[in-house]
Amino acid sequence: MTAVQSTQIQLVSRPTGWPTHENFRTVTVELPELEPGQVRVVNEFVSVDPYMRGRMNDVKSYVPPFALNETMTGGAVGRVVESTSDEHPVGSLVSHQLGWRDVAQADAAQFRVMEALDGVPSSAYLGILGMTALTAYVGLQDIAHLRDGDVVFVSGAAGAVGSAVGQIARILGASRVIGSAGSAEKVELLTSKYGFDAAFDYKQGSVREQLAEAAPDGIDVYFDNVGGDHLEAALAEFRDGGRAALCGAISQYNTEGPTPGPNNMANIVTRGLSLVGFTVGNYLDRFPSFAQEMGTWLREGRVQFDETVVDGIENTVDAFLGMLRGENTGKMVVRVGTGS
């Protein structure tokens, strides 16, 4: 039997500002034979996500930073090709967190067997059926305590998380859903495909003015993927008792040095607002109820999703950088080998 090789992408230095190819290296390693209880998986798709930029910094966080000179971890889906675990038969579709590699091999407990849904590509388990949409689900319900009739604003709304937020908010009773995105095409998609009531291009004017126009009666919930002037605009437009779920601040991930916060923090007191940050990894106990509800919504055609697919594990860094620049619509994934 020929040795099996795995191509993997490692972080070798911590980016200052925008990451570059110099921060990564590609290595090819020979995998040892499986040990008892281990599984070998050929990946179909690996995930590139905004939060990964944050974990490249060496800062105190819920989740420790990525280790240098080790393979980038993160979401991936693939097929079991060799197994010593009864619960992971060859051919099973599995998801895991072993990240940027074409072949993954580890203890069986690292792999979760997924029930493939008809007509849904395996990449969906990284997006609309995975951590991405779980983030939207948890942020709206557990963090922002979405209530019937709420006006909801989502930034980065054409992204994987944002587009799920808008649609889930509507299903769960929001009276009006407003989104911001970074191009005319994305803005069009928000209203035509994802059912947003209003959308605007944050590059074409003041976020604050455009939000005020889109939400003449104010907002109740803000789902923040962007930070910066978007958060400031939301603080300006909140009604009394407004709630912000802070998921990420992609506008600031690559700035060097501290960035001033919103200039209207006083509204938090006078309007009784709440700003709550979260990391989906602390809410994995919500996955089962999420997976059941989202499966139903997908089958009923109530949720739409997009993917931007980049081919080849060797292009993972480019996919990651493109996602940070907003070149994706919906979930950005890397197709590995024969992923389908």
Q: Which residues bind its own copies (CB under 8 A)?
A: 54, 59-63, 227, 231, 240, 246-249, 252, 258-279, 282
Rounded to whole angstroms, the Cα distance separating 319 from 75 reads 14
- Of the pair 104, 211, the CB lying nearest its own copies is at 211
**Least distance from its own copies to the Cβ atom of residue 159, Å:** 15
Q: In angstroms, what is the minimal distance from the CB of 256 to its own copies?
A: 13
Minimal distance, residue 178 CB to its own copies, in Å: 19
Residue 105 CB, nearest distance to its own copies (Å)? Answer: 31
Backbone angles phi and psi of 176, in degrees to 5: -155, 135
Match 């594990």 to its residue by tokens: 313
Are residues 75 and 131 in contact, defined by beta-carbon separation less than 8 angstroms? yes
CA angle 113, 106, 335 (to 5 degrees): 65
Distance in Å, CB of 250 to its own copies, minimum: 11
Closest CA to 9 of 87, 78, 69, 88: 69
> Which one, 25 or 208, has the nearer CB to its own copies?
208
Nearer to its own copies, 159 or 339 (CB): 159
List all residues 6 or more positions away from 209 whose beta carbon is below 8 Å from its beta carbon.
none
Closer to its own copies by CB, 159 or 227: give it.
227
110: phi > 0 → left, psi -120 to 50 → alpha, else beta; which? Answer: alpha
- Shorter beta-carbon distance to its own copies: residue 31 or 268: 268
Minimum distance from residue 201 beta carbon to its own copies (Å): 24
Alpha-carbon span 216 to 224, nearest angstrom: 19
* DSSP states of 58-97: ----SSPPPPTTEEPPB-EEEEEEEES-TTS-TT-EEEES
Question: What angle do helix axes 207-214 and 229-237 make, rounded to 10 degrees?
Answer: 40
Question: Is 157 within 8 Å of 180 (Cβ atoms)?
Answer: yes
Distances (CA, A) of 126 to 42, 78, 206, 262: 15, 11, 33, 32
Bridge-partner residues for 31, per DSSP? 4
Least CB distance from residue 269 to its own copies, whole Å? 4
Distance of closest approach, residue 38 Cβ to its own copies, in angstroms:
32
Pick the closer one to its own copies by CB: 132 or 316.
132
Q: Which is nearer to its own copies, 229 or 318 (CB)?
A: 229
Q: Whose Cβ is closer to its own copies: residue 77's or residue 138's?
A: 138
